[in-house]
Amino acid sequence: MGCFPCFDSREEEKLNPHNNRDDHKSAHPNINSNISRLSSGGDRLKSRSNVGLRKEALGLNLPDSQIAAQTFTFRELASATNNFRSDCFIGEGGFGRVYKGRLSNGQVVAVKQLDRNGLQGNREFLVEVLMLSLLHHPNLVSLIGYCADGDQRLLVYEFMPLGSLEDHLHDLPLDKEPLDWNTRMRIAAGAAKGLEFLHDKANPPVIYRDFKSSNILLGEGFFPKLSDFGLAKLGPTGDKSHVSTRVMGTYGYCAPEYAMTGQLTVKSDVYSFGVVFLELITGRKAIDSTQPHGEQNLVAWARPLFNDRRKFAKLADPRLQGKFPMRSLYQALAVASMCIQEQAAARPLIGDVVTALSYLANQAYDPPGHSNRVSGGDKEERGGKILKNEEVGGSGRKWDLEGSERDDSPRETAKMLDRERAVAEAKMWGENWREKRRQNAQGSFDHGNNNG
């Protein structure tokens, strides 16, 4: 599924690095009118130095003092990809085609070439270069450089060998193993940390605006990184509650209030995250026309099932074959249900989502036939299920997964998750306090010995 402009499909203004006229002001409302020009790759024939991009261009307040993006000529990238041969082709999105390449220094990269007839254009190209030059986090894909040579627009990224999350969730070939439960939770937690950086660490906050499974790339060990920042926007500042913009995004992932009003907040990203998390839990696509009527929209299909504990198991991906802890499924559904609330104010902040998912990602689960442990290894599981009425986790709550619990709705599960998070935070505070006391006591002891 590509990106779509709901109300405006006009061709974007063209970026011409050789033009004396300031096109950048009209290209993006958040870009300062005196932004440094992007150098074309051809400029490197005269100067091989990197092109510095100013932090002030997007109004981001970040600690980095030197920010630069490497420039390439079109000839260099054509050589790196064997003239963009079909055997180097690895994917296609709203921006254009992506090829695997090898630079002259031997580095393997992904080269994304702008489709001049596509839905994304020079505005998105410029925003992506600036955003990824200014924002650095382990869960954001790294931009190596770009080419603005003549009318060619290309981006050069680190190569992510395992492709996108979408590749591992949907339309799997018969000989491809589905992602296991542990890996799904780790991917969700890592992707949430990328969003948390954009929302909470960038100043002002950055709203990603196109969070979807195809934009989560996977490295070794299925380590997730967010990619494709062409639609990113700076969030509201001061006393503003939102930014207004024409609606862009991917059908099935857009938050309802944003799709209807164009009012964008960080909670819009949280909704999109909830949809992707549901994809991870269920194995279903956000929009799937091959499903029966009434099940084609993932959120619309899942919402009624949240209210009936007896149907929770129906929400789990059948390809998991029951190889997941039911209690973790309840907790994961609780997080997903909170993220896709109709009202933006009812959704959690992404920082709270990270806390919850980090907890879930650390609950190691081994399938039947393996010796396994839960939450620190003090409670055994058998047959892939937590023992009936076994006490698990910090809350001390007893669980009966065979059906005797009356209050395992996502709402009650969310309350339980909050309690467990509070207990975990209290334990962490207690450990830090004890460590501080120990250090103070050691310091006093050493001081007394020195005086002696």
Could you list the residues known to form a binding site for ATP, using ranges: 112
Whole-angstrom CA distances from 325 to 165, 181, 378 are 22, 9, 16
What gap in Å lies between CA 204 and CA 366, rounded to an integer? Answer: 42
The catalytic residue positions are 210
Q: Is the dihedral of CA 302, 306, 311, 317 positive or negative?
A: positive
Listed residue (217, 212, 219) closest to 227, CA to CA: 217
Phi, psi dihedrals of residue 196, rounded to the nearest 5°:
-60, -40
With H, G, I as helix, E, B as strand and everything else as coil, classify residue 102.
Answer: strand
Would you say 401 and 385 are in contact if contact means Cβ atoms under 8 Å apart?
A: yes
With H, G, I as helix, E, B as strand and everything else as coil, classify residue 187.
Answer: helix
Q: Which residue has the tokens 């006393």?
A: 239
Residue list, annotated binding site: 112
Q: For residue 304, what are its two tokens?
A: 């009624």
With H, G, I as helix, E, B as strand and everything else as coil, classify residue 44.
Answer: helix
DSSP state of 120: -
Would you say 163 and 90 are in contact if contact means Cβ atoms under 8 Å apart?
A: yes
Q: For residue 155, what are its two tokens?
A: 């981006």
